[in-house]
Amino acid sequence: MKFKLTDRDRGSDARCGVIFTDHGEIETPIFMPVGTVGSVKGVYHRDLKDDINAEIILGNTYHLYLRPGLDTLRKAGGLHRFEAWDRPILTDSGGFQVFSLTQIRKITEEGCTFQSHIDGSRHTFTPENNVDTQRTIGADIMMALDECCPGDADEKYAAKSLKLTQNWLERFDKRFRETEPLYGYDQTYFPIIQGCVYPELRKRATEHALRYSDCGIAIGGLAVGEPVEKMYEMLEIVCPMIPDEKPRYLMGVGTPANILEGIARGVDMFDCVMPTRNGRNGMLFTWNGIMNMRNAKWEDDFSELDPEGTSFVDHTYTKAYLRHLFIAKEMFAGMIATEHNLAFYLDVVRQARIHIKGGDFASWKDEAVRKITGRL
């Protein structure tokens, strides 16, 4: 995998570039739709490509490891062939899910032991077997196994947590170099910068993670309970320390405004469940603000879903119709909302790229953020 920086904004740290993978190119800044269990919920690949313009999607190691399991994925020839997606895939290591999903878990220097949320069976992720698992899944970009430190952790805990993440990273890297891709195309991995909201920890984490970064690097442990200003503050500390030629991936972020603010601070890649999960529950993001499609105010609004939207759903269905589908609990509601939201998120990063190349990103961003954070 390679990254080429192509443009810089004049009034901010925003940049444009291209990531080259064996499954195609990715223009940055980019938003990556989340497809946890081997599907971006409710969307055909046809629409992901042609309507939404997704260039890369995510999979999740924790979920795929539990279901369908490594044997099936190996027999299928990897996740790309299994889910019939021929563009790039990035897999999260599953470390985050161990903390967010499982009730019973034990974290040690060796790794993390947890009980499946599906059947209660016990499993252990170590940096070593996590490399093997992500090799079996076959993502173009794998993520290092880390501990996602809560945003409200005290500095002592955050330092201890960071040390564990660093030790795991060293072991992950060693295993990565000892092993080969299984399916004939290249794989890389991104180390993850932790350090919670503490500047010194973040700096130390960045220096350490950079030693293990072949291509890109990730910023984790943000948007996990800390104030949003803290997140921006951490980006302002971390991003300038990273060499230009390395793409920066801000994990799990965020709202459209978070993404634009991240881009302004030098972030290149984003993923978030918000457009898909919140979409399935009636929340639509638009250039003019947020809509809760369940609200009674849309009951008789027969105007098109989003006049400024880029997706075909925006000009095919009405607000009143989508509200009806949500109230009736029709699965089609979630499909339409997901399609719209993902198309909007990809439009946000596309417009950002246009304005970075045009050199007026900073001022355009301020106005866009003001509009998209409103409410319709």
Q: Are the beta carbons of 98 and 125 closer than 8 angstroms?
A: yes
Contacting RNA within 187-246 (CB under 7 A): 192, 218, 220-221, 223-224, 228
Phi and psi at 229, nearest 5°, equal -65, -35
Cα–Cα distance, 186 to 21 (Å, whole number): 8
Cα–Cα distance, 204 to 195 (Å, whole number): 8
- Verify cis geometry, omega within 30 degrees of 0, for the bond prior to 29: yes
Contact window for RNA (CB under 7 A) among 18-26, 28-36, 131-139, 173-181: 28-36
Residue 133 as a binder of RNA (CB under 7 A): the answer is no
Phi and psi at 266, nearest 5°, equal 105, 10
Contact window for RNA (CB under 7 A) among 17-25, 87-95, 200-208, 354-362: 87-95
Report the phi/psi class of residue 368: left, alpha or beta, with left for phi > 0 and alpha for psi in -120 to 50. alpha
Among 9, 51, 128, 146, binds RNA (CB under 7 A): 146
360 classed as catalytic: no
Q: CA angle, 52 as apex, 26 and 59 as ends, to 5°?
A: 60
Residue 107 as a binder of RNA (CB under 7 A): the answer is no
Place of tokens 């009636």: 282
Can you read off the two tokens belonging to residue 180?
């080969």
Contacting RNA within 30-49 (CB under 7 A): 33-36, 39-42
Residue 296 as a binder of RNA (CB under 7 A): the answer is yes
Q: Are the beta carbons of 181 and 137 closer than 8 angstroms?
A: no
- Total number of residues that touch RNA (CB under 7 A): 59
User: What's the closest the beta carbon of residue 332 comes to RNA, in angstroms?
Assistant: 8
DSSP string for residues in 121-172: -EEEE-HHHHHHHHHHHT-SEEE-------TT--HHHHHHHHHHHHHHHHHH
Among 19, 148, 153, 349, binds RNA (CB under 7 A): 148
Q: At 367, which helix (H) or strand (E)?
A: helix 361-372
271 classed as catalytic: yes
Residue 324 as a binder of RNA (CB under 7 A): the answer is no
Residue 375 as a binder of RNA (CB under 7 A): the answer is yes
Phi and psi at 258, nearest 5°, equal -55, -40
Phi and psi at 17, nearest 5°, equal -160, -175
User: What's the closest the beta carbon of residue 222 comes to RNA, in angstroms?
Assistant: 8
Instruction: Rank residues 105 and 350 by Cβ distance to RNA and give the closer one.
Output: 105
Q: Which one from 271, 306, 314, 347 is the annotated catalytic residue?
A: 271
Instruction: Rank residues 147 and 314 by Cβ distance to RNA and give the closer one.
Output: 147
Residues that bind RNA (CB under 7 A): 33-36, 39-42, 58, 60, 63, 92-93, 95-97, 100-101, 103, 117-118, 143, 146, 148, 192, 218, 220-221, 223-224, 228, 251-255, 258, 271-274, 276-278, 280-283, 290, 292, 294-297, 327, 331, 334-335, 375
Residues marked active site are found at 92, 271
